[in-house]
Amino acid sequence: MEVKVVSNSEAGSQLAYEMIRHALEDGAEVFGLATGSTPERVYQLLSESDVDFSQSISVNLDEYVGLPADHPQSYHHYMQKKLFNAKPFKHSFIPNGMNTEAEEIENYNQILEENPVDLQLLGIGTNGHIAFNEPGTPFDILTHKVELTESTIQANKRYFESEADVPRYAYSMGLASIMKADKIILLAFGESKAQAIKDLVTAQAVDPLIPSTVLINHPDVTIIADEAAAKLI
Ligand code: F6R
């Protein structure tokens, strides 16, 4: 695991942008993408660049259960607005929040099998979650339906009109799905991520209560943290 501490989120986003750009130039075809506030600037930089994803595939980490693709808070909508409108991919896959659990698990696992991820971009939750793999999620799990924890609902309610509108479930790539990526970049910006970054960077062994620690067994992980997120390491 390589940890790159940068002065602020702008520098971190620039670095991630460069790494994605180089991966594409080096032949990466399948990009694993995350939503949330952390990668927004990276997507903006990509959108404003001359990067061409028209021959690339994207697979997203997760989607809320029960939100249709055109719902303004769906991750489909987020990706469309933040990246895909400016930079269309040959094909973009995001879990379908309107499918039943059984349908979507089968569907998304097949998509991931047919489109192995070359480069996976990740954020991290304040509780150490990656994608929607909350503390206690088994490390060997593939796509699954997740009940969001209270801390994740609290963190995500800012995007909804009221807390009651935040979906309680999501479909998420599992920890084992994420570990299949060739290369992983995890971004963490801001003081609220400091404990999660400390827990990950100082982990001596995987800890089921800190899902991100699964990454210590991956051969190619780069953590890009700004000084605020790195302040406890
Ligand atoms: C989003 C995702 C989540 C976020 C995490 C951090 O697709 O999988 O794990 O990366 O919740 O969210 P932000 O970036 O909003 O702090």
pTM value > 0.75: yes
Token output for 208: 């089921």
What is the 152 CA–ligand 1 centroid distance (Å)? 9
H or E stretch covering 47: helix 40-48
Rounded mean pLDDT of the chain? Answer: 97
Residues 165-217: pLDDT tens digits?
Answer: 999 999 999 999 999 999 999 999 999 999 999 999 999 999 999 999 999 99
Taking alpha carbons only, the member of 131, 222, 220, 138 closest to residue 178 is 131
What is the 100 CA–ligand 1 centroid distance (Å)? 23
The residues with which 64 forms a beta bridge, in sequence order, are: 170
Token output for 81: 């607005």
H or E stretch covering 46: helix 40-48
In the residue annotation, 199 being an active-site residue is answered as no
Q: Atom 2 in ligand 1: which residue has the minimum CA distance?
A: 131
Residues in the chain: 233
Instruction: Reduce the DSSP state of residue 20 to 3 states and report it.
Output: helix
Residues 139-165: pLDDT tens digits?
Answer: 999 999 999 989 889 988 988 999 999
d(CA 102, CA 22): 37
Query: Does residue 35 contact residue 78 with C-beta atoms inside 8 Å?
Result: yes
Q: Which amino acid is at 170?
A: A
Indicate whether residue 118 lines ligand 1 (CB < 6 A).
no
Indicate whether residue 32 lines ligand 1 (CB < 6 A).
no
- Residue 134 pLDDT class (50, 70, 90 cuts): very high
